[in-house]
């Protein structure tokens, strides 16, 4: 399903995701698009903060074409210099997530790059 998220600076991004993806995986994808570490992301859906990293989008009531609002945590100081390494390790440690990412056409190149980096 397609969802959109917008940032405080009015950037708009679209994601093609599965309704069974957990919030922690959505935040990892968002990090690849924004550079904001998952720990520094505050996501809202219909003015409700999404806080449980293990809950799926479906459990939060997120449906096709919904819009999420991304706010950067005020306590975050600087982006992590090793964010790319963290996301790479996270994605590669989850074969199920890798398969979901491969199904999303514009992320195929990203997944192939991750595989190449680890071979």
Helix (H) or strand (E) holding 42: strand 41-45
Question: 36-55, pLDDT tens digit by residue?
Answer: 999 999 999 998 999 999 99
* DSSP-based three-state secondary structure for 117: helix
Asked if CATH classification 3.10.20.90 holds for the domain at 2-117, the reply, yes or no, is yes
Question: 77-108, pLDDT tens digit by residue?
Answer: 554 445 566 666 666 666 776 666 666 545 55
- Domain chopping of the chain, boundaries: 2-117
Q: Full-prediction pTM beyond 0.95?
A: no
């Amino acid at each position: 399903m397609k969802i959109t998220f917008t940032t405080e600076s009015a950037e708009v991004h679209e994601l093609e995701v599965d309704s069974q993806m957990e919030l922690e995986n959505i935040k990892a994808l968002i990090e690849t698009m924004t550079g904001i570490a998952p720990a520094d992301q505050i996501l809202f859906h219909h003015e409700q903060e999404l806080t449980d990293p293990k809950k799926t989008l479906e459990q939060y009531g997120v449906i096709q074409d919904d819009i999420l609002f991304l706010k950067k945590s005020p306590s975050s100081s600087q982006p992590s210099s090793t964010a790319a390494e963290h996301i790479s390790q996270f994605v590669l440690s989850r074969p199920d997530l890798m398969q979901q990412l491969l199904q999303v056409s514009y992320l195929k190149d990203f997944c192939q790059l991750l595989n190449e980096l680890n071979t």
